[in-house]
Amino acid sequence: MSLKSVSLSNAVINQYKYKLKAYSGIFTSLVIIQLLGMFFSLNGMGSSGYSTESYSMNITSYSSNLVIVFTMVWAFMNALLVTTRAYREDDFTFVTNRLTYSLSNYAILLTASIIGGVTAFLSSSLINVIAYLTNNIEVFVTINQEIGFMDYVVGVLATILFILLCGALGYFIGMVVQLSKIFMMIIPVCFIAFSVPIQRNGENVFFKLFEFYFQEHSFPLFLLKVLVTIFILSLTAVMMSNRLEVRK
């Protein structure tokens, strides 16, 4: 028996470094999914036309919104993946417990969210360049000149938080499923139930959640909403991980 004690921080850092190399495929898939999002974005996010007897005009708008959505789905799916038994048993290579296991996983999710958020947000510039070079565009107008440095910072932070929120939700659902396989049937049923309109205008639970997070105009309030939600999901997931069975 070794008399050398291993601190919590050292255990988390060692697992984080190991997973950063072992899960390199996550970042490869990020590149693929964002390239796919950029490809679909080249068709434009919306268009309108106007014509008179002397001329006609067609306006097409381009943005990185689809790339961001694809990246959010990528974060959700990979967070689900790291909760599976195969990934959990990789941690037995180290001196570990459920807390260090969860903390190192969240460190990976945070790293992935930062990388994914920055690249997804900045992909709008590349989309604009490719659209300009590949399409027959006579006039190209950009709103970047009206955006200040702090607007870019807020945009990047908001994108990172959205991706991290999806990752935290995926990790939470993954832990719920690992706790009991019966939730594999319950969660899809809940998803369908939340999609059912609760009002005559077609609004449902998902629409209300979309309004609550995505249509918040105050950044400090948005920041509070997202951080509190991530904290609750993460804390609950860590508590559930303590109830998982030990390795057999």
Residues 11-30: pLDDT tens digits?
788 888 888 888 888 889 99
**Could you tell me the pLDDT band of residue 1, with boundaries at 50, 70 and 90?**
very low
Average pLDDT score over residue span 168-190: 84
Distance separating alpha carbons of residues 124 and 178, to the nearest angstrom? 38
**207 pLDDT above the threshold of 70:** yes
DSSP-assigned letters across all residues of 132-159: HHHS--S----SGGG--HHHHHHHHHHH
CA distance 205 to 214: 14
Q: Beta strands of the chain (E only): which ranges?
A: 46-51, 56-61
Q: pTM for this structure?
A: 0.83
At residue 26's C-alpha, the angle toward residues 35 and 213, to 5°, is 75
Closest residue by Cα to residue 33 from 129, 163, 215, 209: 163
- Most confident among 85-89, 146-150, 179-183, 195-199 (mean pLDDT): 179-183
Residue at token pair 């919590």: 8
Q: What per-residue confidence (pLDDT) applies to 30?
A: 93
Rg of the chain's alpha carbons, rounded to an integer? 22
Residue with the bigger pLDDT between 107 and 97: it is 107
Look at residue 15 in the predicted model and tell me its pLDDT.
Answer: 83
SS3 of 60, please? Answer: strand
Strand partners, 58: 49
Residue 185 has what pLDDT?
A: 83
| Residue 240 near residue 175 (C-beta atoms within 8 A) | yes
Q: Is the pLDDT of residue 68 over 60?
A: yes
Task: For residue 157, give every residue at least 6 positions away whose Cβ sits within 8 Å of its Cβ, in sequence order, or none.
Answer: 223
Burial of 94 (0-12, 13-18, 19+ CB in 10 A): middle
What is the rounded average pLDDT of the residues 182-194? 78
| Mean pLDDT of the region 3-17 | 73
Q: How many CB atoms lie within 10 A of CB 123?
A: 21
Q: What is the pLDDT of residue 33?
A: 94
Q: Is the pLDDT of residue 195 over 60?
A: yes
- pLDDT in the model for residue 181: 78
SS (H, E, C) 36-57: HHHHHHCCCCEEEEEECCCCEE
Helix (H) or strand (E) holding 184: helix 183-195
